[in-house]
Amino acid sequence: MSTLVLSHRLIFIRHGETDWNAEGRLQGQHDVPLNAKGRAQAVAAGKQARAYISRLGLDDVRFIASPLGRTRATMELAREAMGLDPFTYELEPRLMELSFGEWEGLIWPEVQQREPGAARARERDKWRFQPPGGESYAMLGERLRPWLATVTGDTLIVSHGGVARVLMAMIGGVPVRDAPLADIHQGRVLVFENGRRAWL
């Protein structure tokens, strides 16, 4: 995948932890709420984003979230921590997490036990593998590409781990073979700029 170079900053926050995250379950597009740790992570990320935006003197930052409950809650807690109206932001369905289809709710050892061949196929090529009834990272990239064309200024988004991995390949200079393996931290801010990415 060729790297797109944006002419502005894309500030990324992953939603805070949920109980399914803590249990290692494939969450996908299931609407699982934040737990107490996740709410604290959202506040921490908001404070980090506020410091970054203030330091650079960025004006007119656009705020956009995935419509799932965990991302909306993270955005609202983060904006409140930034001293902003918690509810003044946009929703974008194309920022929803990668769908794991029939595997959602399972932990990886359960997938390996139920569908060992498919589990091995995913390990061989995580970028292109499509779970039954779900999406591949490559398909998520096709969903995100037209959305990226609508982002014309400095933007802060709250989205998901899979989305961050695809953005790493699309606008962060990470090879597609490596992007699905990247750790995407909760409670921290990731900035994409000039074809590169950096954690604050």
Residue 5 binned pLDDT confidence (cut-offs 50, 70, 90) = confident
What is the rounded distance in angstroms from the CA atom of residue 166 to the CA atom of residue 180?
Answer: 7
pTM (two decimals) = 0.96
pLDDT digits (tens, 9 = 90+) for 9-40: 999 999 999 999 999 999 999 999 999 999 99
Which of 17, 76, 92, 97 is catalytic? The answer is 97
User: Is 15 among the catalytic positions?
Assistant: yes
Q: Which of 15, 17, 92, 160 is the catalytic position? A: 15
Which residues on adjacent β-strands are paired with residue 134? none
- Per-residue b/e over 82-101, b at no fewer than 16 CB within 10 Å? bebebeebeebebbbbbbbe
Instruction: Show Cβ contacts of residue 145 under 8 Å, excluding neighbours closer than 6 positions.
Output: 170
| CATH of 10-199 among 3.40.50.1010, 3.30.230.10, 3.40.50.1240, 2.40.50.140 | 3.40.50.1240
Distance (Å, whole) CA 193 – CA 62: 16
